[in-house]
Structure 1
Amino acid sequence: MTFEEFVALRLAALVRYATVVTWDADLAEDIVQNVLVRAQARWERIRTLDAPERYVQRMLVNEFLSWRRRKAARTIHAGEALEGLLAPQADQTGRYDDRDAVMRLIGTLPPRQRAVIALRFYADLSVDEIADELGCRVSTVRTHLLRALTTLRTSLPSALLPTGEPR
């Protein structure tokens, strides 16, 4: 597969993935653009891998985590998290309002915790796979996941919390 074919087929999915990881649509587009420029230069090697898309996704996560260290990186505040991306809409069932509340809370988490939540629940990766993806220990991933879920549980309205025994 050529680089142009890869981009034509997977660009939208990569932007969605980056948006979930970064929680900022504009930053996601910037990161995807930067990563694709670097990936194009290395495409002959990347395309021979078993899963070139996974490799590019890992590049996206690494790029996001390095952006947060730069002076130009923005801190997302609760009031502006996902502004305009998932604006609350009135719905008879309230399902979308609940989803919006959860999404806004996730947007307030620190970048590494957001990345772990996105990789665990959006990309459906195991804790071991996330550790490999982020280049850290499994215990670090578990700590970030535990802290993120604890923050979300304490911040969510009780009506949105699942009932029954915790797993």
Structure 2
Amino acid sequence: MLLRTARSLTANPCDAEDLLQTALTKTFMAWERIEDHRALDGYVRRALLNTRTSQWRKRKVDEFACEELPEPVGLPEPDPADRQVLHDAMWRAVMKLPERQRQMVVLRYYEDLSEAQTAEVLGVSVGTVKSAVSRALGKLREDPELTPAR
């Protein structure tokens, strides 16, 4: 569980392991000062956060000034017309959903409400929102208009 916390604080799994090892070492070094040994998880989590914050503040900047900026490497921007076609196809697929599922999908993904907020707006339980949205997304995945050609 502590490794999962460390992984959420870093982008690299190896860095997460190093971070956790450092936090555990700090915990061991402070063992005499820790009054409640039942709360070690919280102490180690705080050590993880403090260590990561210190690393972030001390990070080495590998940037340097140059005469010309290099061209960005990556994928070209998609054609706006293709994006609009996909957007229209997605909206048509959403409109095919039953009304209740459509309401939940629109609130969750178009209005960016949380599951709890969606449940509150519709007067249903969070579990109802989760299951209905899951079924709706399954239907959208099966829609032939949205399935990429193979």
TM-score range relative to shorter protein: 0.3 to 0.5
TM-score (normalizing by structure 2): 0.43
Q: Which has the higher contact order (CA 8 A, sep 6+)?
A: 1
TM-score (normalizing by structure 1): 0.39
In terms of Rg, which structure is larger? 2
